[in-house]
Amino acid sequence: MASTARAHTNIALIKYWGKRDADLILPYTDSLSLTLDEFYTTTTVDFDSQLKHDHLMIDGQVISPDKSAKVAHFMDLVRQMSGQKAFAQIKSVNHVPMSAGLASSASAFAALAAAASRAAGLNLTPTELSRLARRGSGSATRSVFGGLVQWHRGIDDESSYAEPIMEKVDFGLEMIAIMINRQQKKVSSRGGMQASVDTSPYFKIWPEVVEQDLKAIKIAIQERNISKIGEIAEANAMRMHALTLSAQPPFTYFEASTIKAINLINQLRQTGLNCYYTMDAGPNVKVIYDQKDRPQILAALGQVFGQDNLVVAQPGPGIEYLETIE
């Protein structure tokens, strides 16, 4: 039977950057994210004993088997777990610009984990689903849940999964994604984090930095203190990007417009607006702010980047199962 699931993407406030185990995708550190309502992936999986391999279609385009090896590998895992022998027809629709640092892999693998496991007859708990999604992409571990979510790094497959720390985020925390570049990124997060682990002299202290930032942000979340949350998230993101700049050879996800956005957000803050920035493995900047300041922040960012390049996102839900693909 076919099964359809939808997962929303998430943006880390405390970043995951570096794997201890590349096959199991076990990270060096915990991480913490906000699931967003505006960006999501809807995926349908249908096992069919007539097929000779898994067939993947993304946004109406057939993806050749050589370009869908990661998905086929993930489907092998689902087959192993369920005893299902057949290959599958997989149809995925993304409401996320792919590979532009907006974590399309998070919503993609969370939706695939949910649709594939259900179609294969597995009835996984959310924790089990989070573990399975992790095997596709680290950040997908967190997209199983809505709101503010912590991924426990764990020590093995069993203990590495995410948990919601606040599912209903109702204190005005919002994000604006500034779409600086919609192209595919040049250095994948996978390649980028491995280079940082292998060659940045600063990577040694990264786990300690994350532990401290995580402790601080959890207190700020309990206090529902948006400026404190933003300040900690911003610092943590820049510490992550310092790992790419200090790699050998050095590299960066920043583009000229990224710096422009950062400077603008700093300026807005000086005028008393509560706004901060974070970035992932791409040039796009996400602004963290208090909902009540949205009109002024949108107006100021719109003047520089154009309103069409701004997307307002609010806290979003976890996995949902649907009747049909949309």
Single residue of 6, 8, 15, 153 touching ligand PMV by CB under 6 A: 15
Work out how close the CB of 36 gets to ligand PMV at its nearest, in angstroms, rounded to a whole number.
Answer: 12
- Supply the minimum distance, in Å, between the C-beta of residue 1 and ligand PMV: 29
The first and second tokens of residue 17, run together, are 């950057």
DSSP annotation of 66 reads: G
User: What is the spatial distance between Cα 2 and Cα 232, in angstroms, rounded to a whole number?
Assistant: 43
d(CA 132, CA 41) in angstroms, rounded, equals 17
d(CA 226, CA 276): 9
Min dist CB 77 to ligand PMV, Å, is 16
190 counts as binding ligand PMV under rule CB under 6 A: yes
Residue 269 gets the label, from left (phi > 0), alpha (psi -120 to 50) or beta, of: alpha
Closer of 152 and 190 to ligand PMV (Cβ): 190
DSSP notation for 110-138: HHHHHHHHHHTT----HHHHHHHHHTT-T
12 is an interface residue for ligand PMV by CB under 6 A: yes
**Region 130-169 residues binding ligand PMV, contact defined as CB under 6 A:** 137-139
Instruction: Provide the 3-class DSSP secondary structure of residue 178.
Output: strand
- Which of residues 138 and 146 has its CB atom nearest to ligand PMV in the complex? 138
Q: What sign does the dihedral 241-247-252-253 (CA atoms) show?
A: negative
Ranges within 28-87 binding ligand PMV (CB under 6 A): 31
Number of residues that bind ligand PMV (CB under 6 A): 15
Q: Give the SS3 label for residue 149.
A: strand
Position among 231, 234, 280, 290 found at the interface with ligand PMV (CB under 6 A) = 280
Nearer of residues 103 and 221 to ligand PMV, judged by Cβ: 103
Question: What is the pattern of x (binds ligand PMV, CB under 6 A) and - over residues 80-119?
Answer: -----------------------x-xx-------------
Residues that bind ligand PMV (CB under 6 A): 12, 15-17, 31, 103, 105-106, 137-139, 189-190, 280-281
